[in-house]
Amino acid sequence: MIHIFVCKLVLGAGLSVMAVPAFSQTVQQADSVDGKEVTLSEVTVTSAIGAGRKVAGKGRAASIEEHLLQLGNVEMIRRGSYAWEPVVNNMATERVSTTIDGMKIFYACTDKMDPVTSYVESGNLQRVRLDAGLDGNPQATGNIGGSIDLKLRKAGFGARPQEYNATAGYESNGHLQVYGIDGAFSSQKVYANMGTFYRQAGNYQAGGGREVPFSQFRKVNAFLNMGWQPRQNHIIEGTAIFDRATDVGYPALNMDVSDATGLITSLSYRHEQLPGFFSRWESKVYYNHITHNMDDTGRPDVVIHMDMPGKSSTAGLYSILQGTRGNHQFQLNWDAYYNTLFADMTMYVKGAKPMYMLTWPDVGTVNSGLALSDDIILGARHSLRLSAKGSWQHRRIGNDEGFRALSIYFPGMARTATDLTGRVAVSYSYHQGGWRLSAGAGYGNRTPTVTEAYGYFLNNTFDRYDYIGNPALKNESAIEVNASASLTGHPVEARVEVNSFFFRNYIIGLPDTRLSPMTIGAAGVKLYRNLPDAQIVNATATLNWQILHWLRWENTARYSYGRENTGARLPLIAPFSYQAKCKVLWGNVEAEVGTEVVARHSGFSEKYGETLTPGYNIWHINAGWRFNLGKVRCNLHAGIDNLFNKYYSTYSDWNHIPQKGRSIYTNLTLQL
């Protein structure tokens, strides 16, 4: 099967190489046409004051997660007020690829307290790109649900010679403070931009005024981007980001984080305007390292104090060729990375020797993949997009003790695992007048994550089970079909989109009553298993109405459904939701009032430990004003979230920790 797949891949490459008609025409990326991309600059205050764009009143003062939530298919799993876990098409980290400018990066906490999006800051980013489903960005692997690429904010060549920004934000609830300064310098030969950010919050209050203990955090971030163009179109770029969060509380868990530190570096070479078949070539080498330390010393009633550090380091490279020929726009990408994950746990009992175990047994993963995509204009009204990626992966457990411990549960297990995975996707669209109809299909599979294959007694506070990885898991695969219809017109825009994922060997934890839990008070032990099949369906309908040239009304309704082979519901599938916003844009002033209505989560998954989340309705309001003070451009925003101070939690709030109550915020950005 895999062999055939690889052959197809090569064939596909051959075809796209041969099919080169003589005329030249640029093809807009399908995903940007689909509106999958939301640029962070669009949600920052600076450019927010422009028609038809998504607005987040908090601008650059907003967290990455708040920006991500502006994307259509994204939800967040929240364990506290920091480091939320993105969920795309109702699939979380295991089925979503997250890259930073194409760089692979893996979280270092066995309890998923540090999704990789937590190691960057809004001010680091230009935009966030989301490719929903199997048609991922070229560097993505294992992306069944989708792939997120965080695009870094680089000054670029030939921009304003000097530019300085300063941001300050305050949020009343939890006394959240955000400060940031950055500067950019640019010429035709050289550019550099750098900045530093600080974010701090105390405990927030839920609706009704109850304080949520252990919801504080503190974060510093600094970044540097540099570019050098020694010769026209030969570009060398380097990036470094340092990010450190300390004293981070996780009210939904029974421990906090003393520090989570990430160092992200890259060096790339880019050749633009190439003559010949490919017009652009970019190669990048990168390295990132994350250390993560959990901390339970601040918690009362700790039965056994534990140290739980985790480490993740990734070195990798990719090389991408892009070209346009005739009605084809194609790219070819090769990437490779080596990642190691190590986590252990030491438990201290009074008067006895500490107990020690490895929770991630120093797992080394080598992965290399080849990705191709081709956007083809078939005619005036038809276009087609093909994409495919094949990857080879080799994994090895580096630690003897960890290997021996896992062997207790899987006698005779192999210490290494080698897999071939891949994905193919095709989408077709037809457009006429303001109408656009699209349909797509894809097939792909993924290897189990390190947690799913080799995790060792990882306690999940959500269902209160200890989880053990299963080295005998089969790869999970999925077939995706999607369709959308949209009407772009004036004054009404409408869009309906449906996607379905049909899984084989869906990976999920199932109780094994044979095994005894390690965590005191745990309900039992779950082993990751393959379910024969499972299914996830997502549907979104959007209706936007430009009532007056300054007044716009936006509506979005979303429905999702997920079940497994026995008919039981899958966990963490969003309930029906409806969002409405009224936006005003008048000269230098913008304002928004909006509501979110979320239905009772009646389709909760009892089998997988979920309990009912009641429905809720919340309102928000914000306003922004752009003005100049001499040469300084100022953007001032203010707003209120959860206007009526409602007490609520979403279906994906870990252990139903309540969301923030009413919060009044304001922020100011100065640009010189």
Partner 1 sequence: MNRLLLFLGLSTGLLFSSCGDDVQDNVVINIPDTDEECCNAEETFLAYSFLNNGYVKELTELRDTIDNKYVLKVYSAGGKLHVGYNDLFFALIKIATDGYVRDFQVNDIRPLMTMTAMGMQHSTPTETETTVYNETFPAVRHAWVSFLMSSGDNGYWELSYKAAWQQKEIEHTPTVIEVNALPAGQNWLKSFKKDNQTYYLTLVNPNTFQTGNNTIQAYVSKQSADKKVPYLTAEETFTIEITPTMPDMGDHSSPNNTPLIKQESGIYEGNLNLSMTGLWNIHLVVKDQEGNIVAGGDNDNSGYSSLYWSVTI
Q: In the set 15, 20, 408, 548, which binds partner 1 (CB under 8 A)?
A: 408
Q: Note whether 513 binds partner 1 by CB under 8 A.
A: no
Nearest residue (CB) to partner 1, 524 versus 615: 524
Which is nearer to partner 1, 297 or 516 (by Cβ)?
A: 516
Q: Which amino acid is at 26?
A: T
Rg (Cα) of the chain, in Å, rounded?
25
Work out which of 300, 521, 567, 630 binds partner 1, going by CB under 8 A: 521
Residue 254 lies near partner 1 (rule: CB under 8 A): no
For position 379 contacting partner 1 by CB under 8 A, the verdict is no
For 493, the 3-state DSSP assignment is: strand
Query: Shortest gap between Cβ of 205 and partner 1 (angstroms)?
Result: 35
Tokens of 669: 């950005």
For partner 1, give the closer residue by CB, 175 or 404: 404
Return the residue of 404, 547, 548, 549 that touches partner 1, per CB under 8 A: 404
Rule CB under 8 A: is residue 407 a binding residue for partner 1?
yes
Convert 150-184 to b/e letters by CB count within 10 Å (16 or more is b).
bbbbbbeeeeeeeeebbbebbbebbebbbebbbeb
d(CA 519, CA 442): 41
For 242, phi and psi rounded to 5 degrees?
-120, 130
The residue among 337 and 457 lying less far from partner 1, judged by its C-beta, is 457
Contact criterion met (CB below 8 Å) for 29 and 375 = yes
| 518 in contact with partner 1 (CB under 8 A) | yes
Binding residues for partner 1 restricted to 555-614, rule: CB under 8 A? none
Give 182 or 466: the residue with its C-beta nearer to partner 1. 466
* Shortest reach from residue 252's CB to partner 1, in Å: 22
Min dist CB 409 to partner 1, Å, is 7
Q: Does 650 bind partner 1 (CB under 8 A)?
A: no
Binding test (CB under 8 A) with partner 1, winner from 519, 649, 650, 663: 519
Enter the DSSP assignment of 579: E
Given candidates 13, 17, 240, 357, which one binds partner 1 under the rule CB under 8 A? 357
Q: Nearest distance from residue 635's CB to partner 1, in Å?
A: 54
Write the DSSP assignment of 226-277 as a string of letters. Answer: EEEEEETTEEEEEEEEEEEEEEE--TTSS-EEEEEEEEEEEEEEEE-S-SSS
Indicate the residue among 466 and 554 with the shorter CB distance to partner 1.
Answer: 466
Among the listed residues 84, 119, 217, 409, the single contact to partner 1 using CB under 8 A: 409
Q: Which residue, 485 or 515, is less far from partner 1 as judged by CB? A: 515
Nearer to partner 1, 350 or 631 (CB): 350
Q: Which class for 411: exposed (0-12), middle (13-18), buried (19 or more C-beta within 10 A)? A: exposed
Q: Is residue 1 close enough to count as binding partner 1 by CB under 8 A?
A: no
When binding is defined by CB under 8 A, the residue of 3, 231, 353, 490 that contacts partner 1 is 353
The one among 520, 587, 630, 631 contacting partner 1 by CB under 8 A: 520
- Which is closer to partner 1, CB of 405 or CB of 485? 405
Q: How far apart are CA 636 and CA 169, in angstroms?
A: 10
Side by side, the strands of the sheet bearing 96-100 are 37-38, 125-132, 146-152, 96-100, 103-104
Residue span binding partner 1 (CB under 8 A) among the ranges 271-279, 287-295, 403-411, 415-423: 403-411
Query: With contact defined as beta carbons under 8 Å apart, do 40 and 619 qualify?
Result: no
Q: How far is CA 456 from CA 100, 284, 510, in A?
A: 28, 34, 15
**How far is it, in rounded angstroms, from Cα 434 to Cα 493?**
9
The answer to whether 457 contacts partner 1 (rule: CB under 8 A) is: yes
Query: How many Cβ atoms from other residues are within 10 Å of residue 415's Cβ?
Result: 14
Structure tokens given for 461: 């506070």
- Of 491, 524, 499, the residue nearest 509 (C-alpha): 524
Q: Applying CB under 8 A, which part among 187-195, 310-318, 351-359, 624-632 lies near partner 1?
A: 351-359
- What letter does residue 67 receive in the DSSP assignment? H
The count of chain residues that interact with partner 1, using the rule CB under 8 A, is 28
> Is residue 354 part of the contact set for partner 1 (CB under 8 A)?
yes
To the nearest whole angstrom, how small is the minimum distance from the Cβ of residue 462 to partner 1? 19
> Is residue 347 involved in binding partner 1 (CB under 8 A)?
yes
How far out from the chain centre does Cα 594 lie?
Answer: 25
How far, in Å, are 141, 312, 418, 422, 450 from residue 368 at the CA level? Answer: 9, 18, 12, 11, 17
Nearest to partner 1 of 77, 406 (CB atom): 406
| CB neighbour list of residue 300: distance below 8 Å, 6 or more residues apart | none
Tokens matching residue 93 = 């980290």
**Candidates 139-147, 285-293, 518-526, 598-606; binding stretch for partner 1 (CB under 8 A):** 518-526
The reply on whether position 211 binds partner 1 by CB under 8 A is no
Query: Which range, of 190-198, 325-333, 345-353, 622-630, touches partner 1 by CB under 8 A?
Result: 345-353
- 517 near partner 1 (CB under 8 A): yes
Shortest Cβ 406–partner 1 spacing (Å): 9
Minimum distance from CB of 255 to partner 1 (Å)?
Answer: 16
Please give the structure tokens belonging to residue 410.
């899987």
Task: Give least dist CB 518 to partner 1, A.
Answer: 5
Among 275, 351, 379, 567, binds partner 1 (CB under 8 A): 351
Detail the DSSP E strand segments found in 407-475.
416-432, 435-446, 458-460, 465-468
Residues in the site for partner 1, rule: CB under 8 A?
304, 347, 349, 351-357, 401, 403-405, 407-409, 411, 457, 514-522
